[in-house]
Amino acid sequence: MELVDQLPALIGVVVGSLGSYAAQSLTERRKWTRQREERWDEKRFETYSAYANALKAQLRLAQRIGAALGFADVVDPLPPAEGLPLLADAESRRATEWESVLLVGDAATIAAARRWHEMIWTIELLIREGPVDAEKWIKVHRLTSAARDAFYESARRDLGINGAPPPSGQWPRQWRAELSG
């Protein structure tokens, strides 16, 4: 047999090999991209969760210090002398977690996270000033709750979680009215 007679078969083998290689490369690339996206989704979820937990701990400390100053609706007061150093530590933890949010978050989630921690800073400023009227205390907590909701809504959207987040509870809860009604 001459080479010319074998040329169609040889071309078929080469084209088949190239096609198989291209298909396998595309499949592997898609698989790698999908796995990378899954890893980043997991990392964003962990980052957002850690940041939210840090903010919640910071808020809880501020509320407890506020209770020691006479602000209502918190049952376990923490004297400022004990609480302010803990609050400073909580702020350090929040600031550390913030860097991760800046790294992996999208612009909308970062903006919502910033608004949430700025509202918590407002609560901290109120407790550092001392006694403040109850209406300001309630208003800043409602604004903080709204900022928290906006963060969760944005984070869920960034993570591809469908549906709206569950509704927030009302703080302060009107428990006295619930009991007397």
Condensed to tens digits (0 to 9), the pLDDT of residues 21-47 reads: 777 877 777 877 676 666 688 999 999
172 CA to centre of own chain: 23
Contact 97/56 with Cβ under 8 angstroms?
Answer: no
- Confidence class for position 181, pLDDT limits 50, 70, 90: low
Can you spell out the DSSP letters for 87-142?
Answer: HHHHHHHHHHHHHHHHHH--HHHHHHHHHHHHHHHHHHHHHHH----HHHHHHHHH
In the chain, how many domains are there? Answer: 1
Structural domain for 169, as ranges: 40-180
- Confidence class for position 178, pLDDT limits 50, 70, 90: low
Q: Is residue 30 part of a domain?
A: no
Contact 115/157 with Cβ under 8 angstroms?
Answer: no
Counting other chains too, the contacts that 64-71 makes at CB distance below 8 Å and 24 or more residues apart are 65/127, 66/123, 66/126, 66/127, 66/137, 69/127, 69/130, 69/131, 70/131, 71/127, 71/132, 71/134, 71/137
- Please give the pLDDT value at position 120: 98
Q: Could you give the CA distance from residue 92 to residue 87 in angstroms, rounded to a whole number? A: 9
Q: Is residue 23 part of a domain?
A: no
Q: Is residue 80 part of a domain?
A: yes
Instruction: Give yes or no for residue 175 having a pLDDT over 80.
Output: no
Q: Is residue 18 part of a domain?
A: no
Q: How many residues would you count in the chain?
A: 181
